[in-house]
Amino acid sequence: MSLLVEHKLERRRNIQKAARALIEERGYDGLTMRDLAERARVSVPTLYNLFGSKDAILIAELQDVAAELARSIPNTGDSFMARGMVVFEAGQRAIENAPEFFRSVTRMLMTSPESSETRRASEEAFIAIMAANLHAAKRAGQLADWAEPNLVARHMFGQYMATFLSWSLGELDGPTFRVAAESGICHLLIGVARGPFAAEVEARLRLIQVWAHHQENSDAAARR
């Protein structure tokens, strides 16, 4: 990699980092190219040359998140549930560490006409992460022979995104979002997982059930 390319990539990373910080402070509407240029210590024309728009900056950051999640998958190990949970936990930590950023991404993807093609590409990247683990599980005989990993991954992503949307709209708090998302994915997996994979999914669902009962009791006590 040439020094010029390396310098350009470094500037892009600094701009994305500054954009995320501004969004956390001010929200989506508070992110202006002028303020971003000042925070990132670049000129406004540089922002447009490197990205084109503030929505493109958010998309680039989202793509980096997907790449980071893909790198988090362990290369070894026979526990496909454990491998999947590594990615799930990494994703939840990313959201919990920058909630306003991810709410802004949701708003942008739902309203920006320029984001539709990139949104689909981002969705495919996240689906591919889940599908890779399911393909490995099927090769190991721990997924039903009739199950199509790519289709199952697409269903899992759709379920997760429905829960994510409820959270981003303020209908779910953080802990409830986490449990609802994990529970939904596990309920999908229990129908196709086999052998040790199925046993681990069931064990996870039982833990979620215990937490849900505990939360219900705590909420009931708080209302008294």
Pick the CATH number of 63-223 from 3.40.50.2300, 1.10.357.10, 3.40.640.10, 3.40.50.300: 1.10.357.10
Distances (CA, A) of 35 to 42, 112, 150, 156: 10, 20, 42, 38
| Beta carbons of 102 and 161 less than 8 angstroms apart | no
Name the class of domain 1-52. mainly alpha
Distances (CA, A) of 161 to 34, 146, 194: 32, 25, 25
78 pLDDT above the threshold of 80: no
Put simply, whether the predicted model's pTM sits higher than 0.85 gets the answer no
**Torsional sign, CA 39, 43, 48, 51:** negative
For 156-186, how does the pLDDT look when each residue is reduced to its tens digit (9 = 90+)?
999 999 999 999 988 998 888 999 999 999 9
Residues in the chain: 224
| Beta carbons of 214 and 175 less than 8 angstroms apart | no
Residues of the chain with CATH 1.10.357.10: 63-223
